[in-house]
Amino acid sequence: MIQNICQDSDQCIMVLGLKIKVKRLKIIFVSIVMNFNRLISAIAMYISNMTHFLDETGNIPTQMPKEARELASFMALVVDETTKESDAYIICTGIRCFKKKCLGTINSEFLIENDDIHWACTKCKNEGVISFWQSTRWDNS
Ligand SMILES: [Zn+2]
């Protein structure tokens, strides 16, 4: 069928043009999907159950992958600093944000509905919620 169309050179050019248009649309579509994924990861929240990062003795396991260990240590710091304060509504923990090149610090608060700790960077979109932090070794409350 395509061969028949291509016998006429004008129509053949039209078919080629359509193919190029489809290719361009595919590229646009792929770039939209990529940007959407970037956007989603940029606004992603770290929802963490503190006990999932601890071994049976309540410590951060040394054999944990580096990235998970760093995140666990960060959360331990946030719990430690946040639970030292009891009066402040928003707690300035002074902890540096772990996002590359970000110069922000972490503010935190207790969520009224469940006492989870909500933390957020002062400069970037980095934020998260820590649950089941009570009775961990960083709980100062
Ligand atoms: Zn940040």
Q: What are phi and psi of 86, to 5 degrees?
A: -125, -20
DSSP code string of 72-135: HHHHHHHHHHHHH-SS-SSEEEEEEP-STT---EEEEEE-TTT-PEEEEESSSS-EEEEES-TT
CA 57–ligand 1 middle distance (angstroms): 31
pLDDT at 136: 97
Is residue 56 domain-shared with residue 88, that is, in the same domain? yes
Residue 94 lies in a domain: yes
Going from the Cα of 11 to the center of ligand 1, the distance in angstroms, rounded, reads 56
| Residues, Cβ < 5 Å to ion ligand 1 | 97, 99, 102, 104, 121, 123-124, 126
Same domain, 75 and 88: yes
What separation in Å is there between the alpha carbon of 118 and the centre of ligand 1? 14
Same domain? 20 vs 55: no
- According to DSSP, the residues that pair with 117 across neighbouring strands are 110, 130
17 and 79 part of one domain = no
In a domain, 138, yes or no: no
Same domain, 72 and 21: no
**Residues 24, 78: one domain?**
no
Write down the pLDDT at residue 90: 93
Ligand 1 mean position, distance from CA 43 (Å):
12
Residue ranges, the chain, pLDDT below 70: 1-14, 16, 33-44
Which pLDDT score is estimated for 89? 87
pLDDT at 128: 95
Residue-level pLDDT at 43: 61
Domain assignment of residue 136, yes or no: no
Q: How far is the CA of 53 from the centre of ligand 1 (A)?
A: 22
Q: Which domain covers residue 92, as residue numbers?
A: 45-131
pTM attached to this predicted model:
0.70
Within a domain: 59: yes
Q: How many domains does the chain have?
A: 2
Question: Which amino acid would we find at residue 50?
Answer: M
Say if residues 91 and 109 touch (Cβ distance below 8 Å): yes
- Same domain for 63 and 30? no
Q: Given this model, what pLDDT does residue 76 score?
A: 97
Tell whether 65 and 125 lie within a shared domain: yes
Q: What is the dihedral of CA 67, 72, 73, 74, to 10 degrees?
A: 90
Distance 44 CA to ligand 1 centre (A): 13
